[in-house]
Every structure is written in structure tokens, then in C-alpha cells.
Amino acid sequence: MSARVPFRRNECGATAAEFALIVPVFLALIFLTINGAIMLSAVIQTHYAAERAARCLSVNISGDCTSDAIDAYAKGFYDGPALTGMVFTALETACGFQVTGSGSYTLITGLPPTTVNIGATACYPKI
């Protein structure tokens, strides 16, 4: 009987093959989780900036809040990841002063860039 192990029963490279199959899936899940958290942060910060701007228009104690200057005012409260084309606009509607903010977030991947549109709307009643 031969002391050599037949080729079909040799399991020397099984761990390396399994590792090579699992690593891409694991890395993709990690990067998707990171991108999802960053996008969620952008959405939350856009909502916060829109709410602060709508409240400023409604209360306007100092007289500094005008519909023309609301874009710069809201951007001052935005503290999230960089959004391309971010703009805040104000309208006077039935609910009061409505501020809408929008921008595009570019996903961080090793693939061609993918952009996701992010937007938020806040309405604050007139006081």
C-alpha cells in the first residue's frame, strides 16, 4: 500500500480556498455598512439644518432670517459629509415656513462613482 495520499483526498488548500471565497463578501458588507452610516448621517444633518432654518424664518427675532439668506444660514448648521449641489430653499405655505434641503452624496467604493440624492423638508408654523 502506498504512503501517499491520493489527490482527491488532499485537503491542504481547503482553508485558503474558503478564505478566498468569504473575504470579498465580508469586505463588501463592511463597506456597505460604513456607506450606509455616512448616508444616514447626511440625512439626519440635512433634516436638522432644514428644521433650524424653518424655525429661524418663523421666529425671526433678530431680523436676520430672510428667504434670500436662508441657504447660507442652513448650511451653517449642516455638519455632515460633503454633499455636492447642496442647496436650501424657503417657501411660505399653509403650514407656515417650509425649508427644503437637497444634495447628492457620492458612495465611497472601488467601483465607478454612484451618487445618491438626499433631501429633507421641514415646516414651522408662523408665530
pLDDT in tens, 7-36: 666 677 788 888 999 999 999 899 889 999
pLDDT range class, residue 5, cuts 50, 70, 90: low
Residue 96 resides in a domain: yes
> Does residue 22 lie in a domain region?
yes
pTM: 0.79
In a domain, residue 5? The reply is: no
Quote the CA–CA distance of 122 and 91 in Å, as a whole number: 11
In a domain, 85, yes or no: yes
Q: How far apart are CA 119 and CA 62, in angstroms?
A: 28
Residue 3 lies in a domain: no
Tell me whether residue 4 is in a domain. no
C-alpha–C-alpha distance, residues 105 and 39, integer Å: 7
Spatial separation of the C-alpha atoms in residues 65 and 67, rounded to whole Å: 7
Decide if 2 is inside a domain: no
User: Which residue range(s) make up the domain with 74?
Assistant: 12-124
Task: Give me the number of domains the chain comprises.
Answer: 1
Kindly state whether residue 23 falls inside one of the protein's structural domains: yes
